[in-house]
A and B are shown apart, each in its own frame.
Chain A
Amino acid sequence: MLRHGLFSRLHRLQALCQLHQPQSSSLRLASAWINPLISHVDPGRAQEVNAEKLFTSPEVQELLTKLTGADLQNKIFRSRRISTPQNRSHYALMTDERWEKTMERMQEEAQHFLQFIPLKEPRVETTETLIVDKEIAGFDKSKFVFTDISFDATDQDRTVVVREVDGSLRTATPEEHDRMNRVYYEKSNRPVVEPAVFSDPYLQDALDRNEHEFLMDWACMYFEVDDPKFISLSKTVYDRIIATKNFDSLYSTRHFGTLVFYLAINNNLPPLLNFFANLGQLSECASLVRLQKSLYPDWRLAIGSYDSDFKILQDYVKQNTRFKQELGDVASTDQSDVYGILKGVISTKLPTLRFNVTMTLDDCFCFLCQAYLHASWALNVNDGHILDELRNFTLFRN
């Protein structure tokens, strides 16, 4: 009888809490992921952005996956210290067929390690007052916290309410909620005191040592993704990466997608464009522009369905003349921004193209001719450098 009564009370309380769920969509401020310091989005538009929804849309996810890259040898499966160090290497005998199959399986395995961290807005800090019982005001000098530790309650949906000293009953703040979770269900990876590396000067030390990936992984272990501290920490790390142009530290890790999204949603592409251009990846540059245009669709700037990668990039540079300075990094001294990117692409691509087995020589030649035509068209001059490269290439081909 008593138990029944207790349960029904608990359920009533739960229902009450659900009834008073804060309405997050009704009055929303600008996304936490829009940083006015690096943003080039006009403020009116920034107000409308729904970062969570944009991030989870399949089109964006696909583009982000493509942009993340998958470097098995030097990034995803590089030699790491693992918890069972006494294990020795295995050796096996393989045919060519078996080798290829194994490598394919490793590619799939790598995708498992590249799952993006969910991008969330910081959780709402407001609380709801459920009941005010004036008659028990001043019942004690301390607040009472009631926590639902029944079997089916998870850490996220657990009911936690606080009886204030003045007699009012309110839902717990997220911080109180976390503390109660920690009291009843301790997790070894979440000690009470926040690790010192998440704040300066130790944060800067870690970043100076290029420990970006380790730091972000640890942050994921320690914080919930919608914790305001996690979001501000991620933003700090990303901002410092952008400032030092150290994209390589997170490239081909699970955090790179978020970084790309952060730059795209702030409409600040030049640093990343320069990074990809330096790697000689024209298609990645184009994907980045596609991503940006899908986040902020505009019929005047839309991408045609038959546009080549180069055309997309070229259009982007034309439409954003204000980035001339930033893109000039690659563009060197020339008048056209396109030329710089193109030069980067060609100069890095050429040596790799020659020895790339999967690409036939004709493909290479087509690519180069196309590049050359675009370049000459854009520059309206016969550029000696590109011509030389082409000549060399044709010689090599013959």
Chain B
Amino acid sequence: MTTLRAFTQIRFNTVNFFQRRTQQELWKTIRSVSKSGEKKGRRSTRQPERPLHRFYRIGAGPLRVQFPGLNAPLEVKEEQPMKIIEQTPEEMKDGQLAIRKQLEERGKTKKRNKEKLHPLERGFSGNQVVGQKLGPPPNVEGANLENFQSYCLEIKRTSNMTGVFGRVHTMSALVITGNGQGLAGYAVGKAPLHRTSVAIIKAMGMASRRLFFVELLENRTIYQDFYAECRNTRVFAQRRPPGFGIVCHPRLIRICEVIGIKDIYVKVEGSTTNYLALTHAFITGLLNQETHQQLADRKGLHVVEMDPNRHFLPQKVASPMQSAVKAEDELTEMDRLNLDDFYGEGRYPLKKQKPPPFYANLPEHLEAEWRKHPFRNQKDVMVRLLADGMVPRWTRTARREVAEEKSRLMEQGVIPIPTGIGLSRIIPKKEGN
């Protein structure tokens, strides 16, 4: 049993500057900023106030002492005397650095606070919520919305001038929700300044109450090419074959995902940053589509699909149900129109050719291209030779094996060791020395 006496710190003149002041005062000495300094933004250059009391643990020291009531339960059994355990040298070292370590780590852990998202699940920009998956909206009475998915398409601060309060700012969020099978809804939610999440939640709730249904061709694409507009945003959507994917404006990609469109090409002209107008235009266009059956009934003709994969063999997709099929002499000029031209309102997206790069006609570039010319077929030949098994594959493993074999032979003296730059001459040691 060791005694405490040897470790008791004997202090002289215990009252010094630091002990005379309170903690707040002490911090003030290094953190204080004058009024004018504050105006210039010097506050942020000062040290942050550190919670030093948290780092001082009672009983922690070269010896770990348990003080009942302070760092141990008050009721100590009488049989057990006060416990003193000697520290190992490592623990002593750690103890001295503990505060520094904790402080250093604090800065790091703060950055790691947020979970890293998969690149496909990240939003449009940075850590922002816009464009991230928000999950299903809360269930509306009598309807289960669990298989829905929501996206926030835009968060912005809007302002309004009032007589009493002056400029009043409001957060506004555009949210779209849908089940990926044609059912979807979108809404704008608003909330006071800095209450972004409230705005999003409000918008989600409203969107789930304003659902619409979009008819899809083969459950993957639109029925026909369409043109739609809202304010200064013009949208040209085009039907595409299976496997094409969604090629369009990023906000429209999210909308398509939510509705369940898998193959589409959309060109947006005019304003591409008015997201509400963009959403509105696209969805109006989708809702104004007509199915093949509706088309057949309206025109009194068969709707026939001709698939290039089947050598354009015609397949009847829909026939008029209400009326008889028209005869050839009853047809008007309108009926003979190409179906693709029929829906576009005579408008076509602007097709701009990509301009050639600035270096396209520079003599240096042309010469470099010409120098590559003799080797233009080299890659194809290489692939062909590898595919036919005429040339062994010169992979990393194969190269290593060859090198190992070579070095083994050299060690055995079968192959002479090369005399390279560093080994121009090997002078054998004289045996006498």
Determine which of A80, A88, A97, A106 lies in contact with B239 in the assembled complex, contact meaning CB atoms within 8 Å. Answer: A88
Residue of A nearest to B327 (CB): A95
Residues of chain A with a CB closer than 8 A to B240's CB? 86, 88
Q: A79-B310, A109-B311 are in contact. Are A95 and B241 (CB under 8 A)?
A: no
Whether B307 sits at the interface, judged by CB under 8 Å, is yes
Determine which of A72, A80, A86, A93 lies in contact with B339 in the assembled complex, contact meaning CB atoms within 8 Å. Answer: A93
Residue of A nearest to B301 (CB): A93
Q: A95-B327, A99-B314, A193-B388 are in contact. Are A86 and B305 (CB under 8 A)?
A: no
Least CB distance from B406 to A in Å reads: 31
Whether A192 sits at the interface, judged by CB under 8 Å, is yes
Are B310 and A88 in contact, with the CB atoms below 8 A? no
Residue of B nearest to A78 (CB): B310
Are A94 and B302 in contact, with the CB atoms below 8 A? yes
Are B325 and A92 in contact, with the CB atoms below 8 A? no
Are A77 and B241 in contact, with the CB atoms below 8 A? no
Are A89 and B313 in contact, with the CB atoms below 8 A? no
Least CB distance from A89 to B in Å reads: 5
Are A93 and B309 in contact, with the CB atoms below 8 A? no
Considering residues A76, A92, A102, which has the most beta carbons from chain B within 10 angstroms of its beta carbon? A92
Are B304 and A94 in contact, with the CB atoms below 8 A? yes
Least CB distance from B141 to A in Å reads: 42
Residue of B nearest to A90 (CB): B306
Least CB distance from A81 to B in Å reads: 7
Can you spell out 22 A-B residue pairs with CB atoms less than 8 angstroms apart?
A76-B311, A77-B310, A77-B313, A79-B307, A86-B244, A88-B240, A88-B308, A89-B308, A90-B340, A91-B224, A91-B292, A91-B306, A92-B304, A92-B339, A93-B302, A93-B339, A96-B302, A97-B327, A102-B304, A106-B313, A191-B388, A192-B388
Residue of B nearest to A97 (CB): B328
Determine which of A72, A86, A95, A191 lies in contact with B326 in the assembled complex, contact meaning CB atoms within 8 Å. Answer: A95
Considering residues A94, A98, A191, which has the most beta carbons from chain B within 10 angstroms of its beta carbon? A94
Least CB distance from A280 to B in Å reads: 25
Residues of chain B with a CB closer than 8 A to A80's CB? 309-310
New A-B pairs, 8, CB < 8 Å, besides A91-B292, A96-B302: A72-B313, A84-B308, A85-B241, A91-B303, A95-B325, A96-B325, A96-B327, A99-B304
Q: How many residues of A contact B (CB 8 A)?
A: 32
Whether B335 sits at the interface, judged by CB under 8 Å, is yes
Residues of chain B with a CB closer than 8 A to A88's CB? 239-241, 308
Whether A73 sits at the interface, judged by CB under 8 Å, is yes
Residues of chain A with a CB closer than 8 A to B325's CB? 95-96
Q: A93-B335, A193-B388 are in contact. Are A99 and B302 (CB under 8 A)?
A: yes
Q: A87-B241, A103-B314, A191-B388 are in contact. Are A79 and B302 (CB under 8 A)?
A: no
Are B328 and A89 in contact, with the CB atoms below 8 A? no
Are B339 and A81 in contact, with the CB atoms below 8 A? no
Bits for A251-281, please: 1 = Cβ < 8 Å to B, else 0.
0000000000000000000000000000000
Whether A82 sits at the interface, judged by CB under 8 Å, is yes
Are B331 and A106 in contact, with the CB atoms below 8 A? no
Residues of chain B with a CB closer than 8 A to A78's CB? 310
Residues of chain A with a CB closer than 8 A to B244's CB? 86
Are B302 and A106 in contact, with the CB atoms below 8 A? no
Least CB distance from A136 to B in Å reads: 35
Bits for B71-94, please: 1 = Cβ < 8 Å to A, else 0.
000000000000000000000000
Are B302 and A89 in contact, with the CB atoms below 8 A? no
Give Cα distance in the complex from A52 to B228, angstroms: 64
Considering residues A86, A95, A191, which has the most beta carbons from chain B within 10 angstroms of its beta carbon? A95
Bits for B84-117, please: 1 = Cβ < 8 Å to A, else 0.
0000000000000000000000000000000000
Q: A73-B313, A96-B325, A106-B314 are in contact. Are A82 and B302 (CB under 8 A)?
A: no
Q: Which residues of B contact A (CB under 8 A)?
A: 224, 239-241, 243-244, 292, 295-296, 299, 301-314, 316-317, 325-328, 331, 335, 339-340, 384, 388, 390
Give Cα distance in the complex from A103 to B313, angstroms: 8
Are B312 and A82 in contact, with the CB atoms below 8 A? no
Q: A79-B309, A82-B308, A191-B384 are in contact. Are A95 and B302 (CB under 8 A)?
A: yes
Give Cα distance in the complex from A85 to B245, angstroms: 13
Residues of chain A with a CB closer than 8 A to B310's CB? 77-80
Give Cα distance in the complex from A91 to B296, angstroms: 12
Residues of chain A with a CB closer than 8 A to B390's CB? 193
Residues of chain B with a CB closer than 8 A to A93's CB? 295-296, 299, 301-304, 335, 339
Give Cα distance in the complex from A89 to B317, angstroms: 12
Give Cα distance in the complex from A98 to B325, angstroms: 11
Determine which of A85, A91, A92, A109 lies in contact with B243 in the assembled complex, contact meaning CB atoms within 8 Å. Answer: A85
Give Cα distance in the complex from A95 to B329, angstroms: 10
Residue of B nearest to A191 (CB): B384
Least CB distance from A77 to B in Å reads: 4
Residues of chain A with a CB closer than 8 A to B224's CB? 91
Within 8 A of B (CB), among A55-77: 72-73, 76-77
Residue of A nearest to B239 (CB): A88
Residue of A nearest to B240 (CB): A88
Bits for A206-229, please: 1 = Cβ < 8 Å to B, else 0.
000000000000000000000000
Residues of chain B with a CB closer than 8 A to A87's CB? 241, 308
Determine which of B309, B316, B327 lies in contact with A99 in the assembled complex, contact meaning CB atoms within 8 Å. Answer: B316
Q: Which are the 10 A-B pairs with shortest beta-carbon distances? A: A77-B313, A93-B301, A193-B388, A87-B308, A88-B241, A90-B306, A89-B307, A77-B310, A77-B311, A94-B302
Give Cα distance in the complex from A332 to B303, angstroms: 47
Residue of A nearest to B324 (CB): A96
Give Cα distance in the complex from A274 to B303, angstroms: 41
